[in-house]
Structure 1
Amino acid sequence: MGARQHRHRAVVGGWLIGVMCLLITLDASAWERVRDSAPERYTVVTGDTLWDLAGRFLHAPWHWPELWQTNPDIDNPHLIYPGDVITLSDCQGAPCLSLSREQQVVKLSPQMRTVPRREAISPIDASVIQPFLRDHRIVNGDPADGALAYVVAGNQGRLISGAGDSLYVRGQVPTQTNLGIYRPAEAYVADDGTALGTELIKIGEARYVRAEEDIAQLEVLSAHQEVRNNDLVLPLETPRLSDEMVPRAPRNELSGALIGVPGGVRFIGRLQVVTIDLGTLDGVQAGHVFQIAQQGEVVSDPRSQAPLTLPSEVAGTLMVFKPYDRVSYALVMEASTVLEVGDQVRTPPR
């Protein structure tokens, strides 16, 4: 009986030691994600982005949600404002990041009755993204099918029109709102021939003047390019970056490719917008981060002389900011070399 109890205690003791060793290993692994230079406290300043903050503390910014601790005393701790303080702490042996915010006390006077609304920091550089969001969109199927109307002629028979000109469109357009004039650009197609979507570029904006039957006259309010016959009239989009857009890795193992660069540029660098062949139907969401990998060099096997492709090399990271059904717009956040259309994208390591 004594020997059996001794063996039982030895087994339990070994199991506990194993669990403790595992926990220590997990904690050590978690701390390896934190930069040696990470500050214990950091006060957010105007111009910071969420990606900047994550990179200040972590080697891989997409691990941010795993270390982020919400504060129940703050209405929405995911919104971070200039003046907020980010603290790096030890939470039961693992690193964690938390937020503290001073409550502003405002003394009202007859001369001051309102408090200016503070703007939360952007997930990524809004100055790069917002103009792009206004002027680019992806549609499924034939772009003409979803258009309100199409341009049939300029004033006095002109073939092209610009800001201040009148033009004529065929279709049904609303009378009380400004409209967008778009032109189909890139048609994205998968390797197997599946249509992924067509990119539309905004040419300008116009407003309703008058109509007879299905022919309406519009005044061009602004134009980035000349408006031409057959350009499409669509409702304007007013997209904005989601406040909930947090850099994070997709839950599933996904792989795809860079399939385009709006504007037709071939070589790609940091802070350039790209299109990838993964979308919401694949589970992609705004804020998802992907690694960019380039195909390895092809060499000759020294024994067989057969061609041999070396393993792919990590070349950068990108973050999705506007996903559509089958494609997504993303911003290149890091690039260690010149990127190209055709480079691979994949879920980053955990």
Structure 2
Amino acid sequence: MISRMLVKMIAVLWVGIAAGWLNPAVSYSEEASEKVLKLHSGLYYTIQKGDTLWDLSERFFDSPWVWPDLWQKNSQITNPHRLYPGEQIRLFSREETQTMVVESRPEPEVAVEPQEPPYYFYPPINSVGFIKERPVRPSGAIFKVKGNKAMISYGDLVYIRPIGRPTFTPGDRFTIYRVLEPLKDGEIKADVGIQHCILGLVEITEGHPKFAMGRIVQSRQTIELNDLLMPYEARSPKITLTQSKKRLEGKIIASEGHERIFGDQAVVFIDKGRQDGVRVGQSYYIYEQEKERLDSKKKEDLLLSPVDYGDILILHTEETTATALITRAEKTVRPGARIRSPF
């Protein structure tokens, strides 16, 4: 299969050179080739009606079975079985294609390969927000979009006002984010911290003394004027599983979208962080513990044994809070739900 993939890649590269530019889709769909967006980071194919990761993998990589790798390279796709026409997915630039041909040469056999530790694969990890006691110091803010559009989305060209003395170099990427009003703990009515919502990603195209220009290369939520920028730090979608902190108890403060009820696969914030021993890759139970009066004639309530009804996986940590994914929920979860260590 490797040989077939190499032939396919070399053929694609030859066509790109003959045409003056590289477009992996040129021999399959003229409509699709017109939709390819060229950036510093590579080529982006426009999803057509009826496209699936399965058939795109077959088309470009000569095997439908590599679709998980294509999904991994496009973390903005939250559901691999549902693609939307007009959405952009990243393919390979000329340099990456050539590199792949070199790296695909057979390497010497290794007697025993090290065993990879268990992990949880979460593609949209770079869209996960967080809560900090103080807001992140921004590098800049969007002050204009080309065309004066009401909503900023994928592919739009934006103008950026520097804040402080950042360096904007073509090809650099910045995370677009927004800060919300201080989040309160519903039980104690105290501020927990400031929520940072991750909106997308911008790639710098031009740098000028008093402003910069950039192209939106990922749009996870609606982007608006005055939204902020901070340096992009890629996070691995492979969440290595690790031992949980013993005897830890806490609670879910809120879901990322501030829903009243939520469940499986919801992203939530908890009131424990690094200072409490919480680390990325740890798991904790969601539980409830009821009280019951055994004798109606007495005013004494008996605290019953805790009952677990869900699990969370830690995705990101701050000093006093953490962001987690609900990986199991046997019933509806609400803000204030209790969490505890598995042991």
**Where on the TM-score scale, by shorter chain, does this alignment land: which range?**
0.5 to 0.7
1:239 aligns with 2:239: no
CA contact (8 A) 2:202 2:214 kept: no
Aligned in 2, Cα 1:173/1:313: closer, same or farther, shift over 3 Å?
same
CA contact (8 A) 1:189 1:197 kept: no
1:239 partner SS: coil
Amino acid at match of 2:225: N
Deviations, residues 205-229 of structure 1 (Å, cap 9, x unaligned):
232323242x322232342344211
Identify the match of residue 280 of structure 1 among 269, 274, 281: 274
**CA–CA distance in structure 2, aligned partners of residues 271 and 158 of structure 1:** 33
Identify the match of residue 201 of structure 1 among 198, 201, 220: 198
Deviations, residues 174-205 of structure 1 (Å, cap 9, x unaligned):
21312222223574334362433423222342
Q: What runs of 5+ residues in structure 1 fail to find an aligned partner?
A: 1-110
**Aligned equivalent of 1:220:** 216
**Aligned equivalent of 2:13:** none
1:210 aligns with 2:203: no
**Aligned equivalent of 2:140:** 149
Q: Report percent identity of matched pairs.
A: 20
Identify the match of residue 106 of structure 2 among 100, 105, 113: 113
**Aligned equivalent of 1:93:** none
Deviations, residues 126-182 of structure 1 (Å, cap 9, x unaligned):
1xx231x21123253453x51100112223544433333322221134213122222
CA contact (8 A) 1:185 1:201 kept: no
**CA–CA distance in structure 1, aligned partners of residues 259 and 132 of structure 2:** 23
CA contact (8 A) 2:142 2:225 kept: yes
TM alignment of 1:266-305, pairs within 5 A? 266-296=260-290, 302-304=296-298
Aligned in 2, Cα 1:250/1:258: closer, same or farther, shift over 3 Å?
same
Length-normalised TM-score, structure 1? 0.55
TM alignment of 1:28-39, pairs within 5 A? none
1:125 aligns with 2:117: no
**CA–CA distance in structure 2, aligned partners of residues 166 and 246 of structure 1:** 39
**CA–CA distance in structure 1, aligned partners of residues 313 and 295 of structure 2:** 37
**CA–CA distance in structure 2, aligned partners of residues 169 and 179 of structure 1:** 11
TM alignment of 1:1-350, pairs within 5 A? 112-114=105-107, 123-126=118-121, 129-131=122-124, 133-138=125-130, 140-143=132-135, 145-171=136-162, 172-176=166-170, 177-185=172-180, 187-190=182-185, 191=188, 193-213=190-210, 215-240=211-236, 245-251=240-246, 253-296=247-290, 302-304=296-298, 308=301, 310-311=303-304, 312-349=306-343
Deviations, residues 68-109 of structure 1 (Å, cap 9, x unaligned):
xxxxxxxxxxxxxxxxxxxxxxxxxxxxxxxxxxxxxxxxxx
Q: What runs of 5+ residues in structure 2 fail to find an aligned partner?
A: 1-103
Alpha-carbon deviation of 1:231?
0.5
Alpha-carbon deviation of 1:343?
0.9
Aligned in 2, Cα 1:294/1:149: closer, same or farther, shift over 3 Å?
same
Amino acid at match of 1:149: G
RMSD of equivalent CA atoms:
3.5
Amino acid at match of 2:282: H
197-206 or 230-239: bigger deviation: 197-206
Looking at CA atoms only, which structure, 1 or 2, has the larger radius of gyration?
1
**CA–CA distance in structure 2, aligned partners of residues 120 and 186 of structure 1:** 45
CA contact (8 A) 1:291 1:317 kept: yes
Deviations, residues 232-282 of structure 1 (Å, cap 9, x unaligned):
111112112677x4442313x221101122233443434443321110011
Aligned in 2, Cα 1:315/1:162: closer, same or farther, shift over 3 Å?
closer
**CA–CA distance in structure 2, aligned partners of residues 137 and 163 of structure 1:** 19
